[in-house]
Copies of this chain bind each other. A is one copy, B any other.
């Protein structure tokens, strides 16, 4: 492995000089610079990032910690973060927590040990943020799920408003017996539940049912099945994430009921399949690109100015009304 020493020798200079032309932060005689550059090219030298990181105690990497990489929402975020980071010359380490606090802690520690410049993550429900101590260790920004602290940068969706809009859309389309399925793994489920109930209340309705369950297709299916078989069958199912939407959709199909005539289905997040099924499903689309990009920018800001006062950015979802909730059709 060729090191800075080899380059220095080949160019007839000291390692300090080589380092300086690399960093480009000190005056160098053009003639010397050329010799060094030539040596670098000749030897096909690339600086050892590990050594650099050890010395300067940081690196051009950021961490991204999410609960499930298979959730299209998070992969979309991942892409956005990666693209934004790439533009700044940073690379991204993606980690899966599986909603497991142990894994979460492990990866956070790992990232810290890797000297990442910062981390973007969506915490599990149990995550106990001690922003004070945490921010000292490394800068970070929270996405998707709120934490109970104002001392940290966050990028969130206005979940209450989005859920309100989605619920009102159902009501405006003539649905009256709404059931809600909410993820129990994060604060988003709770907030969306709030918006759901608020809209009902404002329209003088009450929900037929509201369940907090694990955000998995199977759970969505099972719960929906139970709902559809009960005496007071809902005429619309509101789901708080795409896993539950898929489960609910499947349940309605298997019950030989018609969407949207017998029961409407609405949910969150635009997916490949949402527009493909018949009828396509009405959703609140989250601005994933913007969320990822904003989070990355916020992180870079904090890296540069660690004491900057924390910001919370709240973005709006947009309703995509489709066949699954249009009774008249």
B49 to A113, Cβ gap below 8 A?
A: yes
Chain A, 208-227, contact with B by CB distance < 8 Å: what is the 0/1 string?
Answer: 00000000010000000000
A276 to B278, Cβ gap below 8 A?
A: no
A249: B residues at CB distance < 8 A: 276
A109: B residues at CB distance < 8 A: 46
A47: B residues at CB distance < 8 A: 113
Closest-by-CB residue of B relative to A107 is: B91
A271: B residues at CB distance < 8 A: 272-273
Chain B nearest CB: distance from A253 CB in Å? 7
Q: Which of A68-76, A151-159, A184-192 is near enough to bind chain B?
A: A68-76
Known contacts A51-B54, A273-B272; A70 and B70 CB within 8 A of each other: no
Closest-by-CB residue of B relative to A242 is: B272
- Judge whether A48 is part of the interface by a CB distance below 8 angstroms: yes
A46: B residues at CB distance < 8 A: 109, 113
Chain B nearest CB: distance from A87 CB in Å? 12
- Judge whether A314 is part of the interface by a CB distance below 8 angstroms: no
Chain B nearest CB: distance from A107 CB in Å? 7
Copies in the complex: 2
A96: B residues at CB distance < 8 A: 79, 82
A48: B residues at CB distance < 8 A: 54, 113
- Judge whether A150 is part of the interface by a CB distance below 8 angstroms: no
B114 to A49, Cβ gap below 8 A?
A: yes
- A319, B272: Cα distance in complex, Å: 22
- Judge whether A205 is part of the interface by a CB distance below 8 angstroms: no
Interface centre among A70, A109, A273, A275 (most CB of B within 10 A): A273
Chain B nearest CB: distance from A108 CB in Å? 12
A246: B residues at CB distance < 8 A: 272-273, 276
- Judge whether A50 is part of the interface by a CB distance below 8 angstroms: yes
A275: B residues at CB distance < 8 A: 250
Closest-by-CB residue of B relative to A49 is: B113
Give the contacts of A84-112 with B (CB-CB under 8 A): 91, 93-96, 107, 109-110
Closest-by-CB residue of B relative to A91 is: B110
Closest-by-CB residue of B relative to A78 is: B69
A82: B residues at CB distance < 8 A: 69, 96
- Judge whether A115 is part of the interface by a CB distance below 8 angstroms: yes
Closest-by-CB residue of B relative to A86 is: B103
Chain A, 155-174, contact with B by CB distance < 8 Å: what is the 0/1 string?
Answer: 00000000000000000000
Which of B50, B72, B273 contacts A114, CB < 8 Å?
B50
- Judge whether A304 is part of the interface by a CB distance below 8 angstroms: no
- 7 CB contacts below 8 A, A to B, read A47-B113, A50-B114, A69-B82, A82-B96, A217-B272, A249-B276, A272-B272
- Listed in ascending order, the chain A residues whose CB lies under 8 Å from chain B are 46-51, 53-54, 69-70, 72, 75-76, 78-79, 82, 91, 93-96, 107, 109-110, 113-115, 217, 246, 249-250, 253, 271-273, 275-278
Besides the contacts A249-B276, A276-B277, what 9 more A-B pairs have beta carbons closer than 8 Å? A69-B79, A82-B96, A93-B93, A93-B94, A217-B272, A250-B276, A273-B273, A273-B276, A277-B277
